[in-house]
Amino acid sequence: MPKHILVGYDSSETARRACRFALELAACAGARVHVVSVLQIENGADTSALMMTENGEERLAALRAEVAELDPASRVAVEVDLVHGSPGDALLSYVAQHGVDHIVIGHTERGALARWLVGSTSTDVLAKAHVPVTVVR
């Protein structure tokens, strides 16, 4: 049974379903849940530093409130983190750094053009993860 479950979270409905699933799994397994949201930085380093200081604290507080609403009974230990970078790579880096042994991620169907333009985090994670991955639709 997993002990540390990572949930990739972007506030979408599929991410909410994935988070609820991870919370249920953690309750059954006695595991800790790491809810991780990735802030993708597309401009230069100056913009990145500004976004991290000005928006990071507010975004993290909002994420904590959203997650608390998903599990009002607080049956499991939950850690909410905001990381920066490319979503797939940032989530997998978090897995390696925090001893995560299971990943839960939402998946939204997109057309081939949209996947080509913006990529698919769930596909990226599935291709590169070295721990079990559950994809929630």
Nearest residue to 80 (alpha-carbon basis) of 128, 12, 40, 23: 23
Cβ neighbours for 121, distance < 8 A, ≥ 6 positions apart: 8, 87, 88, 91, 105
- Give the global pTM: 0.84
Per-residue pLDDT of the chain (137 residues; tens, 9 = 90+): 999 999 999 999 999 999 999 999 999 999 999 999 998 766 555 455 555 555 678 889 999 999 999 988 878 999 999 998 888 999 999 999 999 999 999 877 655 444 444 457 888 888 899 999 999 98
SS3 (DSSP) at 12? coil
* Count of domains for the chain: 1
CATH number, residue 35? 3.40.50.620
Separation of alpha carbons 127 and 88, rounded Å: 10
Domain hosting 111: range is 4-136
